A = this chain, B = another copy of it.
Amino acid sequence: MSGVRELTVDLGDRSYPIYIGEGLLDEAGKLLANHGISKKSPLLIITDANVAERHLAHLETVLREGGFGVTSAVIPAGEGSKSLSQLEKLVGVALENGLDRKSAIVALGGGVVGDLAGFVAASYMRGINFVQIPTTILAHDSSVGGKVAVNHPLAKNIIGAFHQPELVLYDLSTLQTLPERDVKAGLSEVVKHGLIWDAEFVSWCDDNAEKLLALDPEALGYALYKGCSVKAAVVSRDERENDLRAILNLGHTIGHALEAVAGYGELLHGEAIAIGMVGSARLAVKLGAPEEVYGVTKRVLSRVGLPVRLPAHLDTDEIMRAMMHDKKFQEGAITFIVPVAIGKVEINKSVSTALIRDIVEQLKQEAV
């Protein structure tokens, strides 16, 4: 295990480590055992069809050789699987395979698998152990912070819990099979973590965009380490999203609305929030931030291959309505995360909807 990076998400007695490195899957048995995952109780791997094809047999073999009792459940790939009906199916599989209170759920996959499997782990018998093995770049984000959830027909991520994993095991090798579009979408949250917290890292992304797109292991390892570190720093200061954690929603108020209106699927999460971050940068400049906030945000996102223009066929009224269902509307007031400089944002609790409507319109005209 040369070149393995390690960091700790600091949450008191719910703290956990993240390991990032090439070939880490081979060490899964040892790492799970070291972090208290029981070999006496059956363990359930949850993954999706795309990931199963490429990496499931490998993980099953390693864990069985390590002495674990392994069963697997393969869900259809895609956001549609983050549903209560999948939850019900997976709980059925867990019951049929005798999972008990000492068992663990292992999520092998991207954010969809992580969020769904995490909610299974959070709610099965009111909470059992959970391990994240992320296989997408985006999942560097979803695997830190313990937010797990499924969707409701009327709103995304609305049914969920906070449930921290025992450990996260990030094998960079698994990322080599990731489709190009998902590579780019995943880099969106990486850039976001720079934009909210670390100007130097934003400029590193600017300089290393090509290496990242080529999945250069050293660059990728560093970027995921930095991304996870920023997220960990934020959530360890505010586990339950009382205040600070809201800054992680940069680009998400618009982004979530776009995903909902486009229909889950047309826009990937990372693409939607890239457009949302350009919107936030535009808003920032309107509210007095330096012009470069807009310029740099847009340039870096473009360099890593992300869309910065809002698809013109999406209806502005519908987008505005979708935002009204968003969790960030508390007691009628609309809260928006607004950059004040590159690497620094503030939580603005009184952005007028009229202003946001203007931004949405302008995003449809964005030069690319």
Contact = CB atoms under 8 A, between A and B. Distances in A.
Tell me if A's interface is mostly helix, strand, loop or mixed: mixed
A84 B95 contact: no
Interface in A112-128: 122-127
A161 interface: yes
Interface size class, chain A: 35 or more
A40 to B, nearest CB: 5
Contacts of A154: 91-92, 95-96
A87 B126 contact: no
A126 B152 contact: no
A125 B84 contact: no
Interface string A295-332: 00000000000000000000000000000010101111
Interface in A74-113: 84-85, 87-88, 91-92, 95-96, 100-102
Nearest to A330: B100
A238 B160 CA distance: 24
A152 B94 CA distance: 11
A121 to B, nearest CB: 11
A87 B88 contact: no
Interface in A1-45: 38, 40-41
B329 A100 contact: yes
A330 B123 contact: no
A322 to B, nearest CB: 12
A159 B95 contact: no
23 contacts: A40-B331, A41-B330, A41-B331, A84-B85, A87-B159, A88-B152, A91-B152, A91-B159, A92-B152, A92-B154, A95-B154, A95-B155, A95-B158, A101-B327, A102-B330, A123-B160, A123-B161, A124-B159, A125-B160, A126-B147, A126-B160, A126-B161, A127-B161
Given A40-B331, A91-B159, A101-B327, 9 more contacts: A88-B159, A92-B154, A100-B327, A100-B330, A122-B161, A123-B123, A123-B159, A125-B158, A127-B161
Closest 3 CB pairs of A and B: A40-B331, A126-B160, A84-B84
